[in-house]
């Protein structure tokens, strides 16, 4: 049974930092693209960042480039999202995701095979 378990969310002031972690189990990490999506209040789920299988290529949505960094440790079955200079518009539930779709579809939520349950990130003064 595949499980993705996120942790590390919380409340921070604008300009602050958080590091999200995702522990995967029941899958072989090197076979999966790993990604983070988010869903803000009243919004659709959107792509944030991805690391292609088995690792080495990284993709980001424009609004987080230069502030967020995705990384993965295939041996530990961990995926991380380092978030710096957080803004109120980053407030959302963040979801860990895994996919075996074509690389061109890495940003598409409908192509995700497994989802975590999400962790809340709130950026507010």
Q: What is the pLDDT of residues 75-113, one digit of tens each?
A: 999 999 999 999 999 999 999 999 998 888 889 999 999
Choose between 36 and 55: higher pLDDT. 36
111: left (phi over 0), alpha (psi -120 to 50) or beta: alpha
Predicted pLDDT at 55: 82
Instruction: Note the Cα 13 to chain centre separation in Å.
Output: 20
- pLDDT tens readout for residues 38-68: 999 999 999 999 999 988 899 999 999 999 9
Beta strands in the chain (DSSP E): 3-7, 10-12, 18-25, 33-39, 46-51, 58-60, 68-73, 78-83, 92-99, 114-115, 119-123
Q: Assess whether pLDDT exceeds 90 at residue 28.
A: yes
Does 18 have pLDDT greater than 90? Answer: yes
pLDDT score of 4 more than 90: yes
Predicted local confidence at residue 56, as pLDDT: 81
Indicate if the pLDDT at residue 12 is higher than 90. Answer: yes
């Amino acid at each position: 049974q595949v499980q993705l378990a996120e942790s590390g969310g919380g409340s921070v002031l604008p300009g602050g930092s958080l590091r999200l972690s995702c522990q995967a189990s029941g899958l072989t990490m090197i076979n999966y693209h790993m990604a983070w999506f988010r869903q803000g209040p009243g919004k659709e789920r959107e792509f944030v960042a991805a690391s292609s299988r088995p690792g080495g290529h990284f993709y980001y949505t424009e609004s987080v480039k230069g502030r967020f960094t995705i990384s993965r440790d295939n041996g530990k079955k961990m995926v991380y999202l380092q978030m710096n200079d957080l803004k109120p518009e980053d407030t959302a539930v963040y979801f860990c995701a895994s996919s075996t779709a074509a690389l061109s579809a890495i940003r598409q939520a409908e192509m995700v095979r497994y989802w975590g349950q999400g962790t809340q990130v709130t950026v507010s003064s």
